[in-house]
Amino acid sequence: MRNYINLQIISWSLIIIKVRVNVLIVQRTYTPKPGKGGLTTLLKMVNESTIAIGLPEVKVYRKFLGPHGTVITIQEWNSIEDYNNSRDTVRQTKEITSIFEKIYPLLDNTHVTEILESA
């Protein structure tokens, strides 16, 4: 589960604010070959399959500037250990690997993975 700090402000009503701490973000950049379409749709399918097996949402964004058709995904994790432990689960899930078998032929190069941690 995600780590939260609960802040409570008491006045005429009780307000609970949840603040996320110790966030690890895995960002992947996918650049398609010229003329290849369907990448965004396939990555949204990856998100649905990922959520179905209990892993964090994969947010899908189209890049506004830069190489045409580039798509970036972002996935939030509690720790590098949680992320690393998920890799075997993903690789053993046919519903996800079968989608990536359709994604890889569309790419100009392999996707780029960056891991960012909260400062």
Regarding beta strands 24-30 and 112-117, do their DSSP bridges make them parallel or antiparallel, or are they unpaired? antiparallel
Domain ranges of the chain: 22-117
State the Cα–Cα distance between residues 113 and 10, nearest whole angstrom.
43
Taking residue 27's Cβ as centre, other Cβ atoms within 10 Å add up to: 15
Q: Residues 22-41: pLDDT tens digits?
A: 789 999 999 999 988 899 99
The predicted structure's pLDDT at residue 15 = 53
**Domain covering 22-117: architecture:** 2-Layer Sandwich (3.30)
Q: Residues 52-98: pLDDT tens digits?
A: 999 999 999 998 887 889 999 999 999 999 999 999 999 999 999 99
Maximal C-alpha separation, the chain: 59
State the Cα–Cα distance between residues 85 and 81, nearest whole angstrom.
6
Indicate if the pLDDT at residue 8 is higher than 60: no
**Span 8-31, mean pLDDT?**
70
Q: Any idea which of 10-14, 21-25, 58-62, 115-119 has the lowest mean pLDDT? A: 10-14
Indicate if the pLDDT at residue 20 is higher than 80: no
Helix axes 94-103, 39-52, angle to 10 degrees: 170
Taking residue 97's Cβ as centre, other Cβ atoms within 10 Å add up to: 13
The predicted structure's pLDDT at residue 16 = 53
